[in-house]
Amino acid sequence: MWIIQSQYGSENFYQSLEQELNSLILGEPNLTANLANISSWLFHAIPRLNWSGFYLWSESDQELILGPFQGLPACIRIKPERGVCGKAYTTGKTQCVDDVHAFPGHIACDSASRSELVVPLIKNGQVIGVLDLDSPGPGRFSPKDAEELERIMAKIVDKIF
Ligand code: SME
Compute the average pLDDT of residues 12-41: 98
Provide the number of structural domains found in the chain: 1
Distance in Å, CA 20 to ligand 1 centroid: 26
Q: Packing angle between helix 13-25 and helix 143-160, nearest 10 degrees? A: 20
Answer whether 0.85 is exceeded by the pTM: yes
Q: Which atom of ligand 1 is nearest to the CA of 86?
A: 10
- For the domain that residue 120 is a member of, what is the CATH number? 3.30.450.40
Distance in Å, CA 83 to ligand 1 centroid: 6
Asked if the structure places residue 6 within a domain, the reply is: no
Distance in Å, CA 79 to ligand 1 centroid: 11
Q: Whose CA is nearest to atom 2 of ligand 1?
A: 107
- Domain of residue 142 covers 13-160
Distance in Å, CA 84 to ligand 1 centroid: 6
Q: Whose CA is nearest to atom 3 of ligand 1?
A: 107
Segment 69-128, tens digit of pLDDT: 999 999 999 999 999 999 999 999 999 999 999 999 999 999 999 999 999 999 999 999
Decide if pLDDT at 1 tops 90. no
Asked if the structure places residue 4 within a domain, the reply is: no
Asked if the structure places residue 2 within a domain, the reply is: no
